[in-house]
Amino acid sequence: MIDLLKFRIEGYMKPPSCLEIRKEYQNNRKEIQTEGAIRNMKLTYTERGVFGNGSLAKLFFGNNIADLNYSDLTEGAEELSDSLETPLSDIHIYSMEVGFTTLMKNPSKEYLSKIMGAKGLLTQEYETGKRFLNKGSRAIKFYDKGKEIQAKKKTENIPEIRGLNFLRTEIKLNRLNTLKLPSPGKQTLKSIIQADQLMKLSEIFDSQIKEIIFMRHIADIPEKIKTQKDLEKLFRQTGIESFRKKGIDIESLISSLPVKERQKRNLRKKYLLPDYSSDIYEPSEEEKEFREKLNEKISVFRESVY
Report, as an integer, the average pLDDT of 262-280. Answer: 50
Model pLDDT for residues 139-167, shown as the tens digit of each residue: 899 999 888 777 665 544 565 666 789 99
pLDDT of residue 99: 94
Report, as an integer, the average pLDDT of 290-299. Answer: 96
- 3-state SS assignment for residue 212: strand
Contact status, residue 192 vs residue 96, Cβ threshold 8 Å: yes
Nearest to 230 by CA among 272, 265, 202: 272
* DSSP secondary structure of 93-133: EEEEEEEEEEE-SS-HHHHHTTEEEETT-EEEEETTEEEEE
Strand 20-26 to 2-10 pairing: unpaired
Give the chain's length. 306
Its pTM stands at 0.76
The helix or strand, by DSSP H or E, that contains position 87, with its residue range, turns out to be none
Report, as an integer, the average pLDDT of 224-243. Answer: 64
User: How many CB atoms sit inside 10 A of residue 6's CB?
Assistant: 17
